Every structure is written in C-alpha cells, then in structure tokens.
Amino acid sequence: MDNVKKILDVFSKVYQKLRSEKRTKYHRDLPLADYFIDRWEKASSMGFGEGTSIYDASLVLGEVKIGKKCWIGPYTILDGSGGGLKIGDNCSISAGVHIYTHDTVERVLYGNPIAIGSVNIGDNVYIGPHTVIGKGVNIGDRVVIGCNSFVNKNIPSGSRAYGSPIRIVGRIEDEQI
C-alpha cells in the first residue's frame, strides 16, 4: 500500500506542475488526460493528416478520416461507424460537436435495421460549438456552421448556415472575413 501511495504522490506532483504550466502559459485548465496526451501525436497515431490535433476527451468510433491542419476540439463525438466520416483539410470542429453516421430511430420504433449514411465535410470548414450533424450529410468547402446547429441536410460550398434545423443564411465572400 505504501508503494501505491508513493506513486500517487509522484503522479499528483507531476499533474500539479503540468497544470500550473498550462495555466501560466495558456490560461487554461484541461481534463486530466489532456495534460499527458499530446493532441498532435494522438491524431497522427489515428492516421489523421499532418498538423491535425484532437483532444483526448474526444470520442472516435468507426471509420474516420481527417485531413491536414485540422483542429478537433474537446468533448467531440466523431462517429464513423455507420458508413464512414471524412473531414477535409484545414477544418475546425469546435468543442462539443457531435457527428453521426447512423441513427436508431426506426429500429426502436419499428424494428427496422439501423439507418446509416456516410458524412463528408469539405476543406476549410468551421463547425461551431455544440453542433450536431446527422447521418448522410455532405458539407462543401469553405463553409461556416454556427453554434448549436442541427445539420440535417447538405450544405453547399461557400455557405454560411446556422439553426436547428439548419438553414443557409448567406455566402462566404472571396475577401477575408
């Protein structure tokens, strides 16, 4: 039991040191594992593109492919178990975003098979916090999805969209925003 206490004491000191460093340098406090897991290394080990990072607090299921220079925020769900999920290059998937490639509604109500549909997200896409993207959706290139949206239909390239359900509210101009 003494050895366990010693190990816990060492772990606690390392954790406090890392926590203090992150607070001082970045003004942030993270979930425990994110102090010990390198986000870029995790992304690389999952076969994601160069320069992509994913928080350890993210859940990844099934066939998920992510391009280069993407940021996958904390507490995201990337569910490619129902037909695959593909995210292009230079995308930001904000905290709390859920992307699904299946649902069980018809199975629960009628005993039908689980409904599946792949999700494809183009290049240079921003998905706002707490957005839910349903199965079978395609999102084009250079798209901004506002926070708290429910994306249940395809969004063409160059669109600005938000809402629950999603609606297109404008276009991305060629000039910088």
The catalytic residue positions are 98
Whole-angstrom CA distances from 95 to 71, 81, 112 are 10, 21, 33
* The total number of residues written for the chain in this structure: 177
- Interatomic CA distance for residues 157 and 134, integer angstroms: 18
Whole-angstrom CA distances from 72 to 1, 45, 127 are 40, 15, 10
The neighbouring-strand residues paired with 79 are 61
